Structure 1
């Protein structure tokens, strides 16, 4: 029985909430109030279950309307997801209490000086202190988004010298602006037919394709902005061409050239014809669907180039800073976190520094309250940003050799809660995995591909560390099962011919990650050879299909083929295998569907009393009862996979290695 229950003789003590401290901080459902001494979440990870004490604050005053407002604010949603992108998690977790404190202090001051303040002044003060309490969707007005002046820039120099704050607009008059669109720019626009659009039917089809396949990953475009009749001001040619480009990259329409659309949008971007920085940032996000080159080449047309260009414009207008007086805050949040998510993905997959330092941002984490009510893609977008942020943080720690016990456990717990709190419509399996797969959904498959890739990165051996970690932070069984799930999902995508409908995530890297693991798994005798071979063949066929749209996928395929040929000459025979208990909770929401390697986990669960057995965080792993052999061979097999992954990640951290290693890219 918890301390709170003991002190009150089995009755709930006043001030004790129904959720424990750990569950409250993670914003997840807690069953402590059902009479248990510890909730299920704390039991699962051997965490001390402590009831949360709610601090009650006295409010002096007789204005019941104000008190009612304060009480309502305590239940207003400030964070709706268990994970939040960026490094603002602590700020996010305490935002409700901070807002409550601010309002209580406001009401206290109003009560003390009630006779000297008018009703209008009270309402003004109350509005000032409650401006950040509710996260209500504010529909971005078309005229605001389409006419944001270039002069509204963010001047960070005021951080050092307060005297210059607010004088930015005055200083812009000290020297003339650029000449705008030059004659050579106009000639370029005319040569590229930048203002010519496809026929109405094709244009409508491409816009529909954009909102079906692209919008969930970049929820920053309103359909009305693309319509000529939406306002007196015609739609931005750059925005329309960028949307058409993105739509053309997720369809198989042969009557329109994606390259022509890209060249038109690129010409419009560089001609200074577009004066709205918001449109320029959105265009930078959408032009990343072109991406003709991978990280092995330097390109001014790659997603990396457009991503960093967009981040540069965003920081110039202060998109990374949020104030209470800003208009269209929810739209700005969606735009900022769309940029951040792409930055997380690119940085982690390429092993290169981020363009966005989230600790410098004051933008609140993205939540479903930042979307229009009823938006079917809100949950997908929020969870996409969250898993991308986890992916990036794990990649950064690996590249810097900074994986510690507590950090590794933190990442593992983040992933556990991310997959557990995933909405029902985005899950692969029913709530009871034994009931099998849920109805097919492309968005859910894409999110789970990212999840399984992050698991592989989490469970591989860290590089550049000063020594082996005190606890087992890598798992061969976790690597193989996650890679097999990725292959199973891509098999569905191949059958449905939806490979080219995928979002802008780094799927070539995702396939490379799974392929490397499956290559090494083929040397182990814990699974039938046909199962591993089929999974690896799916990875290669998926890359070939990607190459139909993105030729850089051939470089990834070539890497796997070279590794396959070189490893065939090595004689590695392993008859034993170990399954770590730390792996099981991360696959608790899944079943055998889509995964040929699932028997590895089934064999592990047979060695436990229950599936949700509390993992031993300080020990290694346990022997599978169905395999017996030499322990030395087990260690050798584990290191075989880990060393290959370590070499690959080391090369990814060195951008030049992709170019200089002619043995990989020859032929």
Structure 2
């Protein structure tokens, strides 16, 4: 009999053992009757047990876990040295909690209603690791002088770090939650090794998540929703760090059977469900694209999958998440267009289009898809700057900004388009400058952009022929969007037509999209495992698959 074992890490005071069967697998759960019982651990034995074999888990686990020999007073003294038990005034705690809920919780929904209620009360939190991590994240997305007067993000971070390494926090779920919050610290640019980076804490969070089985579909119960939210928050962060740093993902979703976020996981808000669900979908697509770039391989099966996912993502966007819908009436008010979180949601979608389209073009060449997507990103960043929202963007947005900038730099041989993209490029450069005030990763991104422009100019490239569509499906990815929102649409359309921009706009965009049926027929004629031309993906530097401009980037 195959076994999936879910065994408690500690058994005290008359613990009981229960066996249940789910999906044709047996689960052994050892429950304790103590209030401080730890989260059960997950152990999978399928890979070395036959159908006939059984393991008596009561006997296999009938021993005490190891305990640290460090005296509790030493651990507590370490925390007190860092003032890890210091609590901000009630009004300040409320401010930090509100900042986290407004700008962080939507992307990493780690706080449960009970957590919010506890942190709202004027009392000592039950988990100081979770509290200090929450206050750190909140301090990163607020500029209130009262916060800085009490403690800087550095102080909040080191307090949380001291509590973590002291071992005083015994609840694994709290550790996973804290590991996601601590990623908002991110003090160092990826050009330098850091033991405080988001990637460092992600690996800790994923390691604990695997121990407690977060990668397996949770059983029905009160913790089902938060376990699913935590797992997908980790998976999303993994994909974003992959695209930001050009480093491998540490989560392989083939090893997981957790369903995507469900409506029932968000009883408080259908809007939050749609937002996080759409965020999860596009983060995974972006991570898949980045992985293909790093591995220098894109099979035709994978290409068809990515094409379909990108198309379905934008085509199936719920009405409440549509920011710039096509065919809107003049001066029509769309609430989603003024929602900060919704506008952020579209940035990774356009970034996916940029990387995906450029990796299929020859190095250094211009992609119409990438140029249009980059122009959309510039307009969104222009809104962030105008509304003073850029100061609360997550550090991943520095990479999104760089990627979009490099897509516009590729228009330089097309002199008219290069002139037309200057307003967008200026917006993105200004955004990197603003982001660098809070995130050091923007400093390296800004230097990379300036260096790429300089290298291009030194080459003195000859004028390129007029722009052409990447393929017949280029505009499918923008089908539901108002292209007039994008500055580069008019000059690109004029080059495509060599005439008035309106004609192509009306003729092409009104043609019903067939859901890539032509592409499916084309791909069906090939071996699904056959890769695309590898010469298009010969990247020699970690940044090359983002820049895709030969050796323009010099570290």
What TM-score comes out, normalization by structure 2 length? Answer: 0.79
1:658 aligned partner: none
Q: Counterpart of 1:154?
A: 42
Distance in 1, matches of 2:46 and 2:465, equals 66
Query: Where does 1:35-74 land on structure 2 (aligned, <5 Å)?
Result: none
Residue 576 (structure 1) aligned with residue 474 (structure 2): no
Is 1:527 the equivalent of 2:422? no
The answer for the alignment partner of 1:200 in structure 2 is 90
**Contact 1:429 1:437 (8 Å CA) reproduced:** no
Which region of structure 1 is more displaced relative to structure 2, 547-556 or 371-380? 371-380
The offset of 1:551, in angstroms, is 1.9
CA distance in 2, matches of 1:278, 1:147: 15
After superposition, residues 93-172 of structure 1 pair within 5 angstroms as 149-150=37-38, 152-157=40-45, 159-161=47-49, 162-164=53-55, 166-167=57-58, 170-172=61-63
SS at match of 1:377: helix
Aligned equivalents of 1:600, 1:362: Cα separation in 2: 47
Matches within 5 A, 1:159-308: 159-161=47-49, 162-164=53-55, 166-167=57-58, 170-173=61-64, 176-179=66-69, 182-225=72-115, 227=118, 234-255=125-146, 256=148, 257-308=152-203
CA shift, 1:407, in A, is 2.6
1:149-182 per-residue CA deviation (whole Å, 9 max, x = no partner) reads 3361112246524533634883442x53224664
1:514 aligns with 2:404: yes
For each residue in 1:528-577, what CA deviation from the matched residue of structure 2 results, as whole angstroms up to 9, or x when unmatched? Answer: 61x31121111111111111111221011111111111211122212411
| Cα separation, 2, equivalents of 1:354 and 1:148 | 34
Q: Deviations over 1:204-229 (max 9, x none)?
A: 10101111111111112035325278
CA root-mean-square deviation: 3.5
Is residue 2:542 matched to residue 1:651? yes
* Equivalence for 1:588: 479
Distance 1:337 1:577 in 2: 40
Matched, 1:550 2:439: yes
Partner secondary structure for residue 415 of structure 2? coil
Pairing 1:494–2:392 present: no
- Tell me the distance in 2 between the aligned counterparts of 1:246 and 1:165: 44
State the shift of 1:296 in Å: 1.6
Please show how residues 254-653 of structure 1 align to structure 2 within 5 Å. 254-255=145-146, 256=148, 257-322=152-217, 324=219, 328-430=223-325, 432-433=327-328, 435=330, 438=334, 439-462=337-360, 476-503=367-394, 506-527=396-417, 529=419, 531-572=420-461, 573-579=463-469, 580-599=471-490, 602-603=493-494, 606-607=503-504, 609-613=507-511, 614=513, 617=519, 650-652=541-543
Post-superposition shift, 1:342? 0.6
Local SS of the residue matching 1:154? strand
1:457 deviates by 1.2
Distance 1:387 1:224, change over 3 A: same
CA distance in 2, matches of 1:154, 1:330: 18
Change (3 A) 1:330 1:273: same
- Report how far residue 599 of structure 1 moved: 1.6
Contact 2:353 / 2:370 at 8 angstroms: preserved in 1?
Answer: yes
1:181 and 1:609, CA in 2 relative to 1: closer, same or farther beyond 3 A?
A: farther
Rounded to whole Å, the distance in 2 between the matches of 1:550 and 1:332 is: 30
Q: Distance in 1 between matches of 2:291 and 2:322?
A: 28
CA separation in 2, counterparts of 1:172 and 1:231?
A: 41
| Residues 187 and 151 of structure 1, relative CA distance in 2, 3 Å threshold | same
In 2, distance between residues paired with 1:404 and 1:612?
Answer: 32
Secondary structure (helix, strand or coil) at the match of 1:215 reads coil
Structure 1: runs of 5 or more not aligned:
1-126, 131-143, 469-473, 621-641, 656-660
Q: Offset of 1:307 from its aligned partner?
A: 0.4
Gaps of 5+ in 2: 1-19, 24-31, 497-501, 523-533
Distance 2:441 2:22 in 1: 52
Q: Please state whether the residue corresponding to 2:167 is helix, strand or coil.
A: coil
Q: Deviations over 1:385-407 (max 9, x none)?
A: 11001111122222223213343
Q: CA deviation at 1:231?
A: 12
| Cα 1:231–1:262 shift into 2, 3 Å | closer
Shift of 1:524: 1.2
Deviation at 1:525, TM superposition (A): 2.7
- 1:319 is paired with a residue of what secondary structure? coil
Instruction: Note if contact 1:194-1:265 (Cα within 8 Å) is conserved in structure 2.
Output: yes
Paired with 2:454 and 2:119, the residues of 1 have a C-alpha distance of 56
Instruction: Please tell me whether the aligned partners of residues 411 and 418 of structure 2 are also in contact (alpha carbons under 8 angstroms).
Output: no
Q: Deviations over 1:502-525 (max 9, x none)?
A: 246x21211111111111213313
Partners of 1:441 and 1:541 in 2: CA distance: 22
Contact 1:515 1:560 in 2 (8 A): yes
Equivalent position SS for 1:155: strand
Aligned-partner Cα distance in 2 for 1:570–1:148: 66
Which runs of at least 4 in structure 1 moved beyond 6 Å after TM superposition?
127-130, 228-233
Compute the displacement of 1:334 (Å).
0.9
CA distance in 2, matches of 1:155, 1:299: 31
Which range is displaced more, 574-583 or 278-287?
574-583
Q: Is contact 1:481-1:597 (8 Å) kept?
A: yes
2-side partners of 1:389 and 1:148: how far apart? 36
* Bigger Rg, which one: 1
